[in-house]
Amino acid sequence: MMNLKEFSHRIGLSPTTVSRALNGYPEVSERTRRKVLESAERLGYTPNSRAARLATGRAMTIGHILPLSKEHEMVNPIFSDFIAGAGEQYSKSGYDLALSVVRDEDEEEAYRDLATRGVVDGVVIHGPKVEDPRIRLLGELGLPFVVHGRSSRVPGEYNWVDVNNRRAFSRATEFLLDLGHRRIGLINGLDGMDFATRRLNGYGDALAAHGIAGDPELVFNGEMTENYGFATTMQMLASRKPPTAILISSIIPAMGARRALHDLGIGLGDEVSVVIHDDDLSYFRNEGDVPIFTATRSSVREAGRLCADILLDAIRGAQDGRRHVLLEADLTVGQSTGPAPAMRHLLDRDRAEALRRPQSLT
């Protein structure tokens, strides 16, 4: 592996000149620069990043911390699409992406570690809680960051990119109310997550506007797995007062909900309506001439791109204050919603029988 000294010697220039040529400084003539670039290509010289990072004090790396949830050691399925979006932008700007996989409880320590070891120039905070301690921590550490989401109860300004979750869910709820639904279930994310709270609020807003009291038995919090969607749907439909419509926070539990409805022989879109929030995951597109699910959609990949742009600007000092982006998630009507049926139609024989089978909530 050739180093700068040898390379510059070979092409008859000093290391300084070569470094300047390579890094685009104006003190070097265009002719020289071209010559240097071309020779580097020809001789296969690439500057050693380790050395450059020490010399400049910049890590040229953005950190992401991927927590494994304690409950199921689960990776958030939206993570990979977010990373795909962000990573693309990093590459364009010559930044690398460092990923730390840590257990939930070690997460704060992991941020502190990244900061003090100096291996990243900035980090992205994923999945903020209603009152997330990481925001203050990073502020204290002086490490630039951007939050994917927000943290309602953390005061002060910071960079964030979020979906208008409250609006999206109030809109979705209203849509169902307009269709005549009065008992509407909500299969939400984990309790304490900021997005889950905002979605709950949106749902509550719409119900309240129609003078409907929310029923806590119709609201669920949990990690968004397929099985969670299945179990909660089963539980709701087995209750004495089943909903005629369900709001689901992600397409993955929606798969489980669909399975539950199917197992019970209940028609999706006619007997029970479902509206989902769709993160537009690349391997799970809710598409077609008429989408499968009626959904509020917001691309998580796009959010990744935006987060990256904001963070890179912050690092490069090209930013005056803090920046925010609030993405609207429009409602698209699909095949999974329809007018509320009269309740009695649901109580036919087949279904009553199906409900007699025991169900467990795993």
Partner DNA sequence: TGTGTTATCCAAAGCGCTTTGAGAAACTCA
Partner DNA sequence: TGAGTTTCTCAAAGCGCTTTGGATAACACA
Please report, as ranges, the residues that interact with DNA according to CB under 7 A.
1, 3-5, 12-17, 19-20, 22-23, 27-32, 47-48, 50-52, 54-57
> DSSP per residue over 144-201, as a string?
-EEEES--TT--S--EEEEE-HHHHHHHHHHHHHHTT---EEEEE--TTBHHHHHHHH
Residues 74, 208, 290, 361: which binds its own copies (CB under 8 A)? 74
CA distances for 87 relative to 80, 265, 279, 359, angstroms: 10, 43, 18, 42
Draw the binding track, 218-257, toward its own copies (x: CB under 8 A; -: no contact).
-----xxxxx------------------------x--x--
What does 4 interact with, of its own copies, DNA, none (CB < 5 to 8 A by kind)?
A: DNA
CA atoms lying within 13 Å on the CB side of residue 256: 22
Q: Residue 222 corresponds to which tokens in the numbers above?
A: 């949990």
- The least CB distance from residue 42 to its own copies, in Å, is 14
C-alpha–C-alpha distance, residues 72 and 69, integer Å: 6
Output 24 or 288, the one with its CB closest to DNA.
Answer: 24
Q: Is residue 290 a contact point for its own copies (CB under 8 A)?
A: no
Q: Residue 237 corresponds to which tokens in the numbers above?
A: 């439909």
Output 59 or 168, the one with its CB closest to DNA.
Answer: 59
Output 101 or 208, the one with its CB closest to its own copies.
Answer: 101
Residue type, 360: S
CA distances for 204 relative to 167, 208, 218, 219, angstroms: 11, 6, 12, 11
C-alpha–C-alpha distance, residues 22 and 335, integer Å: 56
- The least CB distance from residue 201 to its own copies, in Å, is 25
What does 294 interact with, of its own copies, DNA, none (CB < 5 to 8 A by kind)?
A: none
CB atoms within 10 A of CB 328: 11
Contacts of 148-155 spanning 24+ positions with Cβ under 8 A = 148/82, 148/124, 148/303, 148/304, 148/307, 149/125, 149/194, 149/195, 150/194, 151/194, 152/194, 152/197, 152/198
C-alpha–C-alpha distance, residues 82 and 109, integer Å: 23
- The least CB distance from residue 33 to DNA, in Å, is 8
What does 100 interact with, of DNA, its own copies, none (CB < 5 to 8 A by kind)?
A: its own copies
- The least CB distance from residue 311 to DNA, in Å, is 20
Residues 99, 343, 347, 352: which binds its own copies (CB under 8 A)? 99
- The least CB distance from residue 25 to DNA, in Å, is 7
Q: Residue 146 corresponds to which tokens in the numbers above?
A: 């951007």
Q: Is residue 51 a contact point for its own copies (CB under 8 A)?
A: yes
Output 20 or 198, the one with its CB closest to DNA.
Answer: 20
> DSSP per residue over 38-65, as a string?
HHHHHHT----HHHHHHHHS---EEEEE
What does 225 interact with, of DNA, its own copies, none (CB < 5 to 8 A by kind)?
A: its own copies
Output 40 or 207, the one with its CB closest to DNA.
Answer: 40
Q: Is residue 345 a contact point for its own copies (CB under 8 A)?
A: no
Q: Is residue 80 a contact point for its own copies (CB under 8 A)?
A: yes
Q: Is residue 70 a contact point for its own copies (CB under 8 A)?
A: no
CA 149 to chain centre: 8
Strand, coil or helix: what is 129? Answer: strand
Residues 163-222 touching its own copies, rule: CB under 8 A, are none
Output 184 or 260, the one with its CB closest to its own copies.
Answer: 260
What residue ranges bind its own copies (CB under 8 A)?
1, 44, 46-51, 53-54, 57, 59, 61, 66, 68, 72-77, 79-81, 83-84, 86-88, 90-91, 96-102, 113, 116-119, 223-227, 252, 255, 258-259, 262, 282-285, 287-288, 292, 360, 362
